[in-house]
Amino acid sequence: MSQQRTALVYGGSGFIGSRLVAALAKDGWRVRVAGRNVHKARAARVFGEVGQIAAFRAPLQDEEKVRAVLSGVDLVVNCVGILSEFGRQSFSAVQRDGAIRLARLAADEGANDFIQISSLAADVDSSSAYARTKAEAEVGILSYVPRATILQPSLVFGPEDQFFNRFAGMARLSPFLPVIGSGDTRFQPVYVGDVVAAAMAALKLDATKGQKFALGGPEIYTFKELLSFVIRTIRRRRGLIHIPESIAAFMAMLTDWAPGAPLTSDQLILLKDDTVVGEGQKSLVDLGIEPRSIESLVPAYLAQYRPGGRFETEFVKA
C-alpha cells in the first residue's frame, strides 16, 4: 500500500484555498493548512476526515516555523494574497518575500511539487505594488523551484466572492453603482471551482511543471458590463454613475491607511489595466478544463442573499 501524500497549503482558509483544501482531501491527500491565524486555519478541517487536515500557526515571515511545517511535505500550494496593505502586511512582505521564502525552504526540504496562485495582473513593470510583487514572486519562486506551476487567474468569482456579492449588496441599498473613470477596463472572470480544478490537473500532468497558465472564463467583459450584469441579476432599477479618476484618487488617499478600505490607490492603478488571457498564453483549455460562465453560476448564489446584509451560501466543493 502506497504512503499517503502530504500537502501544505498556505492561505488554506481563504476563498480559493479552502476549496483547494477540500479538493486535496477528497483526492486522498493529508493536508496541512498554515498561516498567521491558526483559528482560521482550523476551520478548514471540516473538509476532510478526522485527522486528515491539520492546522498550524506558521507565518511566512517566520523561517523556523515555515521550515518545520514543511518537513515531510510532497506538495506546497501558496494561495496567500492581499488586496490592501496594513501594518507589516505589505505587498512586498507578504506576496513577494513570503512566497519566495516558502519556495526556497520548500526546495531545501525536498518538496516535489509547488503551485503558486498568482494573478493575471502580475507584471514586473506595473505601477501597482500588488501586480508588481505578484510578478516578482513568480520570478523568485521559479529560481528556487524550476518545476513550480504558476496559475494566474483573472477576477475570480463564486459563492462568497468579493466582487459580485459586494456590488449586489451595494445595489440593494444604493440607487446607483459607482464606475471609476470610463469603466472600459476588461476582465475575464473565472469560476473559483475552475481555478481549483486547474491546480488539481497541474498535479497530474508532468507537462505543467515549470509552466504558467492564464486562467480566464469563456467571456470578456468591461467593468461597466459587469456592474450592469449585477443590476440585471438582482432585478433592481439602478443607474451607473461615473466618478472621475481624480476624485476617486482623492477618496482613496483618504482611506488608504484603513484596514479593509473599500478603495485604495493601488486598486485604482489596477483598474486601468485589462486582466484577460493573452494570445498564445496557456489557459484552462490546455489543462482540459472547459471554463464556466458568470451567467450560469452567479444568479444562483446572489439569489441566496438574506436581509441584514449577509449572503447565506453553502460551501461548494470543486
Tens of pLDDT along the chain (318 residues) come to 357 899 999 999 899 999 999 999 999 999 999 988 776 766 666 677 778 999 999 999 999 999 999 999 999 999 999 988 888 889 999 999 999 999 999 999 999 899 999 999 999 999 999 999 999 999 999 999 999 999 999 999 999 998 999 999 999 999 999 999 899 999 999 999 999 999 999 999 999 999 999 999 999 999 999 999 999 999 988 999 999 989 988 888 887 777 767 788 999 999 999 999 999 999 999 999 999 999 999 999 999 855 444 333 333 333
User: Residue 7 pairs with which residues in a beta bridge?
Assistant: 31, 75
What SS3 state is found at 170?
A: helix
Side chain identity, residue 129: A
Give the number of other CB atoms < 10 A from CB of residue 84: 20
The residue range of the domain holding 40 is 6-156+190-216+276-291
Element (H, E) at 93: none
Is 211 inside any structural domain?
yes
d(CA 130, CA 210): 23
pLDDT number for residue 306: 53
Residue 278 CA to residue 289 CA, distance in Å, equals: 17
pLDDT of residue 312: 34
Distance from chain centroid for Cα 103: 18
Tell me, yes or no, whether 146 lies in a domain: yes
pLDDT of residue 2: 52
Residue that is written with C-alpha cell 505543467 in the block: 208
pLDDT of residue 43: 67
The burial class, CB within 10 Å (0-12 / 13-18 / 19+), for 8 is: buried
C-alpha span between 293 and 300 (Å, rounded): 12
- Residues 119 and 82: their CA atoms lie apart, in Å, by 11
Residue 140, helix vs strand vs coil: helix
For residue 204, being part of any structural domain is answered with yes
DSSP 96: I
Amino acid identity, position 238 = R
- Do the beta carbons of residue 268 and residue 180 sit within 8 Å? yes
Please give the distance of CA 295 from its chain centroid, rounded to a whole number: 20
CA 9 to chain centre: 13
Helix (H) or strand (E) holding 231: helix 223-234
Instruction: Tell me if 258 is assigned to some domain.
Output: no
Q: What is the pTM of this model?
A: 0.91
Structural domain includes residue 232: no
Number of domains in the chain: 1
104 within a domain of the structure (yes/no) = yes
Residue 253 lies in a domain: no
Determine the pLDDT at residue 121: 97
Compute the distance between CA of residue 117 and CA of residue 195 in angstroms, rounded to an integer. 9
> CATH code at 105?
3.40.50.720
Residue 1: what pLDDT? 36
Rounded Cα distance between 133 and 3, Å, is 37
What pLDDT, on a 0 to 100 scale, did the predictor assign at position 86? 82
Check: CB of residue 214 under 8 Å from CB of residue 92.
no
- CA-to-CA distance for 30 and 117, rounded, in angstroms? 20
**Inside any domain, residue 48:** yes
At residue 173, the 3 state secondary structure works out as: helix
